[in-house]
Amino acid sequence: MELRGKAAIVTGGGVGVGRAVAVDLARRGASVAINYSRSVAEAEETAGEVETLGVRAICVKADIRRDEEARALAEKAVRAFGRLDVLVNNAGVTRFIDHADLEKVSAEDWEFIFGTNVWGTFVCTRAAAPSLRRDGGGAVVNLSSVAGVYGTGSSIPYCASKAAINSMTITLARALAPAVRVNAVAPGFVDTRWWAERENKDAIKELAAAAAPLKKVCQPEDVSKVVLDLVTSDLVTGQVLVVDGGMGIRS
């Protein structure tokens, strides 16, 4: 897919990986709708950076757990840009709960994490699908995690939610073919504000780097590059691409 003149939605697009993706899409010539739920200042800052690259940007507040707000997000993007070609389902949440502490996991934890990570991904894709089909074929990229591949991560519900995204990526790729391609990126540790509130962030980062054969953790720009590769690779669909410095192949 040639991105010049195209239009995209990035959920959770104001910060971290979402911000990097929005800017990289703009560098390729795509206008971008930047979704946010709380980070309005960051979303507006990202939109400003996008517009300095010569394309249009809008900020759209939407709780992607709500079907009606997901549909409104897609409608606002199409109204602003006249088309929709790319959806990047980047928004995600977690709770940090030791896997061995089963009693600490509540029903609300499951509902909160699955509501955004799984249901939110589904309803945003469903809302965008008619426009992605109508405008000559589009691409969806879901942000997953190695948590859904290796079963290691911030909590059991989080791991399960990302495994669900991996499965849903394949089923949506079948359901939306041939007009729309659907893929996922599964990063390892990404050095973003996601970890900022963790007292042991630096120690976790060092352990993640040490465990990877490439001895590095992901920066948002590393993940964004792979997202853009999947958006523009016209014969790739239904794939989950791990980006973890080789952590999964360590001996």
Active site residues: 158
How far is it between the farthest Cα atoms of the chain?
52
Burial code (b: 16+ CB inside 10 Å, e: under 16) for 171-207 equals ebbeebeeebbbbbbbbbbbbbebbeeeeeeeeebee
d(CA 61, CA 138): 23
Q: Per residue, what are the HEC states of 195-238?
A: HCCCCCHHHHHHHHHHHCCCCCCECHHHHHHHHHHHHHCCCCCC
**DSSP letter, residue 162:** H
Q: Express the helix, strand and coil content of the chain in percent, nearest 5 each.
A: 50, 15, 35
Pairing type for strands 180-187 and 86-89 reads unpaired
Pairing between β-strand 31-36 and β-strand 57-61 as defined by DSSP bridges: parallel
Residue 29: how many CA atoms within 13 Å on its side-chain side?
7
Cβ atoms of 28 and 108 within 8 Å: the answer is no
